[in-house]
Structure 1
Amino acid sequence: MENNKLIEIDMAVATDADEGLRLDKYILAFFPDVGLRQRRRIIENGLVTVNERKAKPGLKLFTGARVVVFEQDGCECADEVSAGLKILKQTDDYAVVYKPEGLHSAKIAGGIEPSAEGCFPKLFSGREPVLINRLDQLTSGMLLVAFGHDQVNIFKDIEEKGQVDKFYLAKVHGVPESEFIIKNRLDTDDRAMTKVLEEDAEHLRWSRVKLIEKLDGDMSLVEVEISKGARHQIRVHLAHAGFPIAGDPVYGKVDDAQDRMYLHHNRITFPGFEAECDSGWK
């Protein structure tokens, strides 16, 4: 079924148990890894219909309602999106792609917003590119790509052994000591905001912070090293330690007048591979 260049990808019929449930909550079954805000955007973009009509996120479902989910036909990579991406390094097994701030790393099921991953077929024609790491939309820097799922599994095994080091640069408010480690475990159940817990995480989830330079206005440039990242790990760890990232709209200072969020993934190393990417604002 096609509908204005949209293709039907899933369908369900509401049962008695779904009576009165909001549409934006009902479609969680279609998008288990997508937060409430994005699910609402998917509905508002016309990618969900109820009984062949567009609906609002707050629509209360009723028994027998036919809910259909669509995606865009083709999911093309616009020239203006691919122009902002750059292949920094490429081997037989892996590649690193620069992603600017403001662009999604991964394709979002049912979404229509552009992503770096959506351009991989264009960047790596004839190969099987698989996105390994994700960056927040507001974070710039390096995306690691594997060529084939075998290479993904090899990387994951190396990562579990603690042999992967990922380095980020961040402009933060305040001036920390020269070096310190943030060990707190994180609660990522709420997709909108990660919470810091009192107990320590396993060592692969620690954030190691090093002062690089003191900046004007009681700010500083720091390097943060992680092995395995959790969602918003660096952002929430730094804020918890009293050094929120400049321009962070979720964990940062209130009324922080910045032109962007200053977090950049600038280096990665693991056995047989290393890549680096300048921030442009250091």
Structure 2
Amino acid sequence: MKRIKIDEILAGNRLDAFVADQLTERSRSLSEFLIENGYVKVNGYRVKKGYTLIKGDVVELEFDEEDLLKVYPDETVKFDVVLKKDDYIIVNKPEGIKTHPILPFEKGTLLNGIVHKFPSAGNLYAKRYEGGLLHRLDNDTSGLILCALKQNSFRRLKNIFKSGSIKKHYYAVVNGILKKGGALSARIISPYKGSYRVFVDPNTEDPEYVTLFEPIKSGKRYTLLDIELIGGKMHQIRAHLSFFGFPILGDRLYNRDRSFNGRMMLHAYRLTLPGEFDAKTDIPEEFLKVLE
């Protein structure tokens, strides 16, 4: 535990701002978490994050910062390893779980499960709690994720991802009957940092972020699509298809149709790096059942 006595220079600061300044990453959100969960006390008592420090206060930091940044193993998280190399793996994420933690000590995410089987994956990161993950999927999206196991591989694959050389393909079931394929490249806008959804600007094209789609099979009300994702902005496929008038079945954010109560019908089925790997999974059974 670290104890800091507040002098005349530190007096007047909000507690959350003061605690954030004690952290290596100077993260206000992490500071708020620590205060709200009792890891920070003032004069032996829990206080609110907006408390104004006064001269003579003693702030007690009851945590080890190294422990805060760890990704903890969780053997209860089940997933399949589709491809395993010495320095990276490709795994199949189940739908309904997060890709990685967002809070200290959090478990139950895909990365917690990966770290249980491959501990080194938790020690590689460019961002907090992301370990060796090279990309991520939405909670309700299933499918393939690439994860590095060694630092040099992490750097190499990160650069390859940025170059666009790794091809990403998805299956999606959408509302409506589509007869032919196409390309969607309308610009995607996030209204503010941390926004939980994005919007599409119909008047502006963005060639760096394109959603290519091709119908595979149709039922009475729905169509199964094969999609190639170019770029990869947050909710790119979901927002593009919704804007086009064919939202993804089960998408509670971009699809207004509430008659379907199942999972979101989006699955990342293929990752390809020419000359190195071509990992695939089958079409999920529930995708085919809804077309019957």
Considering the TM-score relative to the shorter chain, is it more than 0.5? yes
Q: CA deviation at 1:47?
A: 6.2
Aligned to 2:165: 163
Q: Which letter maps to 2:236?
A: Q
Residues 1:167 and 1:124: Cα distance change in structure 2 (over 3 Å)? same
CA distance in 1, matches of 2:13, 2:258: 44
CA distance in 2, matches of 1:15, 1:249: 47
Task: Choose between structure 1 and 2: higher strand proportion.
Answer: 1
In 2, are the aligned partners of 1:47 and 1:110 still within 8 Å (CA)?
Answer: no
Quote the residue 2:109 is aligned against.
115
Structure 2 residues without counterparts, runs of 5 or longer? 125-131, 288-292
Question: What corresponds to 1:141 in structure 2?
Answer: 143
Q: Percent identity?
A: 23
Residue of structure 1 in register with 2:234 after alignment: 231
Task: Decide whether the 8 Å contact of 2:250 with 2:265 is kept in 1.
Answer: yes
CA distance in 2, matches of 1:20, 1:125: 32
Partner of 1:101: 95
1:95 deviation in Å? 1.2
Helix, strand or coil at the partner of 2:285: coil
SS of the residue corresponding to residue 154 of structure 1 reads: helix
Assess, with a 3 A threshold, how the Cα gap between structure 1 residues 172 and 16 changes in structure 2: closer, same or farther.
Answer: farther
1:249 Cα shift? 1.6
CA contact (8 A) 2:40 2:61 kept: yes
Which one of the candidate residues 208, 232, 257 is aligned to 2:212?
A: 208
Q: 1:62 offset after TM fit, Å?
A: 2.4
Q: SS of the counterpart of 1:143?
A: strand
Contact kept? 1:159, 1:227, Cα under 8 Å: no
Shift of 1:206: 0.9
Q: Distance in 1 between matches of 2:26 and 2:176?
A: 43
| Structure 1 position 170, deviation (Å) | 1.1
1:181-260 superposed matches below 5 A? 181-188=183-190, 189-197=193-201, 198-203=203-208, 205-216=209-220, 218-260=221-263
Larger radius of gyration: 2
CA distance in 1, matches of 2:157, 2:90: 14
> Are the equivalent residues in 1 in contact too, given 2:73–2:113 (CA < 8 A)?
yes
The verdict on how the C-alpha distance between 1:98 and 1:44 changes in structure 2, with shifts beyond 3 A counting, is farther
Secondary structure at the counterpart of residue 177 of structure 2: coil
Amino acid at match of 2:51: L
1:33-182 to 2 correspondences below 5 Å: 42=33, 46=37, 49=40, 51=42, 53=45, 60-64=50-54, 66=59, 76-81=72-77, 84-110=78-104, 112-125=106-119, 130-182=132-184
Q: Do the aligned residues in 2 keep the contact of 1:69 with 1:110 (CA within 8 Å)? A: no
C-alpha contact (below 8 Å) 2:74/2:112 kept by paired residues = no
User: Separation in 1 of the partners of 2:173 and 2:262?
Assistant: 12
Following TM superposition, by how much is the alpha carbon of 1:161 offset from its aligned partner in structure 2, in angstroms?
Answer: 3.3
The 1:29–1:164 alpha-carbon spacing in structure 2 relative to 1, beyond 3 Å, is same
CA apart distance, 1:151: 1.9
Q: Secondary structure at the match of 1:131?
A: coil
Within 2, Cα distance between the matches of 1:146 and 1:17?
A: 41
1:19 deviation in Å? 8.6
Give the TM-score normalised by the residue count of structure 1.
Answer: 0.75
Check the 8 A contact 1:183/1:200 in 2, yes or no. Answer: yes
Cα distance in 2 for partners of 1:274, 1:245 equals 26
Equivalenced residue count is 257
Quickly say closer, same or farther: Cα 1:31–1:281, change in 2 above 3 A: farther
Moved over 6 A (4+): 71-74, 126-129
